[in-house]
Amino acid sequence: MNFSIDDLPVRDELRGKSPYGAPQLDVPVRLNTNENPYPLPEALVERITERVREAARDLNRYPDRDAVELRTKLAEYLTETTGHAVDVRSVWAANGSNEVIQQLLQAFGGPGRTAIGFEPSYSMHSLIARGTGTGWISGPRHDDFTIDVPAAERAVAEHRPDVVFITTPNNPTGNAVPAETVLALYEAAQAAKPSMVVVDEAYVEFSHGASLLPLLEGRPHLVVSRTMSKAFGAAGLRLGYLAAHPAVVDAVQLVRLPYHLSAVTQATALAALEHTGTLLKYVEQLKAERDRLVAELRAIGYEVTESDANFVQFGRFADAHATWQKILDRGVLVRDNGVPGWLRVTAGTPAENDAFLDAVRELKKEQE
């Protein structure tokens, strides 16, 4: 029978749409999804095995629904790394920060409500908005990819969105958003509604600057979302979290599925948090490699957007997709995020970065 998704009664807003799909291709050098290239250290793999073995003995029972031990350790990590005291009641965890964002939109967005983001930015914000029935508004940026603050303030005042997303460092462009910009948009959002402002800090550990977490003080409509996928090198773990006023945690608990974080996930994340010191040393190496990529790409003659993340946006290309293919033909997978003229490369190991730099150096020569 010739039957496809188009024959199913899917919701109107999903018709003809494509799922999130960074290509997962089997090529020698994969620098396309902002993963950490370093496998977890063997001592941590051992610790995960121990913790998971213990958890396995209780798998006949549901896990701790409120993940209190894990949230306590995440709060300690945030306190230690930002100098801003964070309490367990201010932290919430879910399966990746994508799920955190989904829970936030389920609680504060939804049918009849809207969210705004300043694009290009992380495409899942708008996709999760769509999935939760939240209307999406695309806010402006300058040509250099910084947020156009007066225009953004006007957009917030005009549309009165229920949720404002600010990604810093931004993905796919890499640039960090200054605290003053976040504060200006927070004020605009409070004057307009008041609405929730979600600062997506998925890449903040790679930043030259500091986390915006201290801004939470006295701002109950502000949320900072984080992930263990990047700095902790644990994309496969699926662990994201947020810090906010405890009232926000109460709100997301209304929409989370019961026992959403498996006992295996909680045990693994706890083991990883015991090894924070070692994992953050890899972050330092990646920051140095990121800075090297920026410098070398510029030396080769490419334009590069300032990066505070573990990836670099470079260009410009008359046909970014054709260039993406040419780099792939040389065995290196980078990302075409659909930003006209630009591509994005994730900082890998020094050898992977060398392979990438060789490929784009060759391309530049060809074009001359």
Name which position in 122, 186, 317, 342 contacts ligand PMP (CB under 6 A): 122
Span from 90-98, 210-218, 274-282, 350-358 in contact with ligand PMP (CB under 6 A): 90-98
Q: How far is the CB of 86 from ligand PMP (least distance, A)?
A: 18
Nearer to ligand PMP, 232 or 314 (CB): 232
User: Which of 105, 128, 35, 29 minimizes the C-alpha distance to 358?
Assistant: 29
**Residue 346 makes contact with ligand PMP by CB under 6 A:** no
For position 200 contacting ligand PMP by CB under 6 A, the verdict is: yes
Quote the least distance from Cβ 32 to ligand PMP, whole Å: 11
34 part of the interface to ligand PMP, by CB under 6 A: yes
Q: Residue 200 or residue 352: which is nearer to ligand PMP going by CB? A: 200
What is the rounded CA–CA span in Å between residue 162 and residue 194? Answer: 8
Contact by Cβ (8 Å): 347, 34: no
Cβ distance to ligand PMP smaller for residue 82 or 97 = 97
Shorter beta-carbon distance to ligand PMP: residue 241 or 296 = 241
What does the alpha-carbon distance between residue 143 and residue 204 come to, in Å, rounded to a whole number? 23
Q: Residue 211, interface with ligand PMP (CB under 6 A)?
A: no
Q: Is 362 helix (H, G, I), strand (E, B) or coil?
A: helix
Q: What minimum distance in Å lies between the beta carbon of 103 and ligand PMP?
A: 12
Q: Does 37 bind ligand PMP (CB under 6 A)?
A: no
Query: Using CB under 6 A, which of 37, 96, 120, 139 touches ligand PMP?
Result: 96
User: What are the counts of helices (DSSP H) followed by strands (DSSP E) for the chain?
Assistant: 11, 12
Indicate the residue whose CB is closest to ligand PMP. 96
* 3-class SS letters over 303-354: EECCCCCCEEEEECCCCHHHHHHHHHHCCEECECCCCCCEEEEECCCHHHHH
Question: Which residue lies nearer to ligand PMP by CB, 130 or 361?
Answer: 130
Residues 169-188 that bind ligand PMP (CB under 6 A): 171
Candidate segments 6-14, 92-100, 280-288, 342-350, binder of ligand PMP by CB under 6 A: 92-100
Longest dimension (CA), the chain: 65
Letter for the amino acid at 119?
E
DSSP 41: P
Q: Look up residue 210 and give its amino acid.
A: A
Report if residue 202 touches ligand PMP, rule: CB under 6 A: yes
Q: Which residues, numbered 233-252, are part of the site for ligand PMP (CB under 6 A)?
A: 235, 240
* Amino acid at position 35, single letter: E
Judged on CB neighbours under 10 Å (0-12, 13-18, 19+), 203 is: buried
Question: Which residue matches tokens 């003659």?
Answer: 301
Axis-axis angle for helices 246-253, 96-108 (nearest 10):
90
The region of 80-88, 96-104, 189-197, 319-327 touching ligand PMP under the rule CB under 6 A is 96-104
For ligand PMP, which stretch binds (CB under 6 A), given 154-162, 179-187, 227-235, 262-270? 227-235
| Cα(191)–Cα(161) distance, integer angstroms | 11
> Residue 134, interface with ligand PMP (CB under 6 A)?
no
Cα 177 from Cα 263, distance rounded (Å): 36
State the number of binding residues for ligand PMP (CB under 6 A).
Answer: 13
Q: What is the rounded distance in angstroms from the CA atom of residue 221 to the CA atom of residue 225? A: 13
Could you list the residues that contact ligand PMP (CB under 6 A)?
34, 96-98, 122, 167, 171, 200, 202, 227, 229, 235, 240
